[in-house]
Structure 1
């Protein structure tokens, strides 16, 4: 997350290019850990995981993972994944993952998390990640999550009141943007950032016109209940970002500050799952069953 000397000079000596700086700071797409194989008609897709995806469950459970492709309004072809974790799920997590993983690496985590929470999990790869085309950028990030939202609502007929938007790290950026524009059941912000400039320059106190990812200016427009989770020793996105986001929420619930946790190990602490279970089980209004 540190800027080079040349990038610092660019910031102060000439008009900055927010897209270029954002890309250097935020996007680290790995070598794809999966592929999508289409049938002859192009209507159905099969998931093929590489060994680096580290799938931890049985073949039968893997066969229940449904994958598809969609297109964003900016032209990217987007890989989507629906992990059906429980036959009686009342909520579906629309999960926006971190900046250095793809759907293949996250698939086992999705199944484990959804099964323990009693929720299905729907996710997607950002432009330029995994089997998704295009290049990662801030504008594409917002187009990507909106395209995923429409797939979940339209193709899978999941109503907005049954969708929990879950964002982790850079994934909190599209999550907040979507939640500020669409109604949903609830929002989870896991290690959120307030804006790109505030990460690069911690003493930044205002949002400049060239700032990337200004979630701090959007969170107050989110009307759903919001759970903020952050490690107190986060070495990538300082704990102060989570606190600032929590303080700006319209409908915050009790946050989870994980004492001693860093950026990539919050899930390993027992209180992480306990807090999510309580949030899903008793703090979100249940959707009406058809």
Structure 2
């Protein structure tokens, strides 16, 4: 059954750029540090090859900000790879003052393997493990960001992590089939069943969607927001399409407002915990992002 689902997904959900828009290489030979073409050293970006539980090697980049309070784990859309999104990550890091961990799905860019729904889940799990082991990032300091099809792996991980700081859903889908057909029921062969997983997310959820999105109708975002347990003020960008929301000034303003709210929430929780008895304390550029259609 899983193989059937994966084949359905591969047929209409994954469009990795061919050829890849970047290369990964080692500076100074086999023992040198990993580098990504198009990234100069002064941009302060670390490159990783992360192995998933099924043996694929996924390219991940960690964009460090010296004053970061939070880390954004960014899952991109289905018709882009990391090479096309470098300028966006550079701008987000600067304006939001966050670290950013971005990665390419299996079969995208220089990542090995083949694209599939379940591989995207293994990919984000492996990248999250890298964040914990290499950088000591805690759930409380992590915000998951899913753009378009990237909302699938984002909500997969968010439903499993109970102490996340927040989730951002950007032009997100209710499920794969619902992008193509307005079905009411969830079928077993559907992919990225976000409509079910959003109900298991226990942190603040920000939804961003364009009202003129002609690929994923804005009602997908509206329904995901309605089903969220902890709703943050959504951003409906009037006239915004599917792949151009970053060009609207309210996009970065609203994201910055959300980050600031998460910082205040974190401080408030720490203050509340510290006042309790010790025994009760417990631990912009447009980018290609999604296409649908049979190959």
Query: Does 1:139 find its partner at 2:118?
Result: yes
Partner of 1:193: 173
Counterpart-to-counterpart distance in 2, 1:41 and 1:160: 34
- Runs of 4+ in structure 1 deviating by more than 4 angstroms, as ranges, are 39-43
Counterpart-to-counterpart distance in 2, 1:121 and 1:162: 12
Shift of 1:38: 2.7
Shift of 1:286: 2.9
Counterpart-to-counterpart distance in 2, 1:76 and 1:42: 21
Partner of 2:9: 22
Shift of 1:153: 1.3
Shift of 1:21: 2.2
Task: Write the mapping of 1:35-184 to structure 2, written as runs, cut at 5 A.
Answer: 35-38=23-26, 40=29, 42=31, 44-49=33-38, 59-62=40-43, 64-84=44-64, 86-182=65-161, 183-184=163-164
Cα distance per residue 1:223-258 (max 9 Å; x no partner):
011000000111111111101101110101110111
Seen in structure 2, the aligned counterparts of structure 1 residues 147 and 43 have a Cα distance that, compared at 3 Å, is farther
Shift of 1:104: 1.3
What number of residue pairs does the alignment pair up?
262
The alignment yields a C-alpha RMSD, in angstroms, of 1.7
Counterpart-to-counterpart distance in 2, 1:83 and 1:137: 26
Cα distance per residue 1:17-71 (max 9 Å; x no partner):
332221122111012111111365557312223xxxxx7xxx4533x11101110
37-46 or 163-172: bigger deviation: 37-46
In structure 2, the gaps of 5 or more residues are 271-295
TM-score normalized by structure 2? 0.85
Query: Does 1:33 find its partner at 2:12?
Result: no
Shift of 1:179: 0.2
Partner of 2:59: helix, strand, or coil?
strand
Counterpart-to-counterpart distance in 2, 1:241 and 1:83: 30
**Is this contact kept in 2: 1:172–1:190, CA < 8 A?**
yes
**Is this contact kept in 2: 1:33–1:104, CA < 8 A?**
yes
Task: Write the mapping of 1:196-275 to structure 2, written as runs, cut at 5 A.
Answer: 196-202=176-182, 204-275=183-254
Counterpart-to-counterpart distance in 2, 1:42 and 1:135: 27
Counterpart-to-counterpart distance in 2, 1:251 and 1:43: 45
Cα distance per residue 1:119-162 (max 9 Å; x no partner):
11111100001110000000101000000101111111111111
**Is this contact kept in 2: 1:90–1:286, CA < 8 A?**
no
Cα distance per residue 1:188-222 (max 9 Å; x no partner):
000110011111112x0011111111011000100
Partner of 2:84: helix, strand, or coil?
helix
